[in-house]
Amino acid sequence: MGMASDRRYGRRTGRKGQEMLYQALYVHGDVCVLCGQPGANSLEHLVPLALGGHPTDPANQNVSHRTCGQRRGVRTLAQWFAENPLPTRDTLKPSREW
Ligand SMILES: [Zn+2]
């Protein structure tokens, strides 16, 4: 049950989750991996945990908007981008490997 001291971190992320989010933001910047827009504020697992993705391996972590992550649910990135193509923007170079 919710401890008062953890409320500011939300339901799903304790202090460890917050540290992983900061680390991911440091590594990846604040561009949402799901929609390509800045302002990411949530840890996103490239392979959803429900599909066997590693919960704490940085290689399986990126950042997203909380709302985007909620919309993604347990889709794979391939499924997500098939349904939600990134907008073409000159400033974005989607040359990374997913
Ligand atoms: Zn987003």
| pLDDT tens, residue by residue, 44-98 | 999 999 999 999 999 999 999 999 999 999 999 999 999 999 877 555 555 655 5
Q: Compute the distance between CA of residue 43 and CA of residue 22 in angstroms, rounded to an integer.
A: 9
| pLDDT tens, residue by residue, 25-36 | 999 999 999 999
Q: Compute the distance between CA of residue 44 and CA of residue 37 in angstroms, rounded to an integer.
A: 14
Task: Determine the pLDDT at residue 43.
Answer: 96
Q: Compute the distance between CA of residue 66 and CA of residue 52 in angstroms, rounded to an integer.
A: 20
User: 15 to each of 7, 18, 63, 64, 77, how far by Cα in Å?
Assistant: 11, 5, 17, 18, 26
> From ligand 1's centre to the CA of 15, what distance in Å?
23
Task: Determine the pLDDT at residue 90.
Answer: 57
> From ligand 1's centre to the CA of 6, what distance in Å?
25
| pLDDT tens, residue by residue, 3-25 | 444 444 445 558 888 999 999 99
> From ligand 1's centre to the CA of 37, what distance in Å?
6
Residue 22: phi and psi, rounded to 5, are: -60, -40
State pTM to two decimals: 0.74
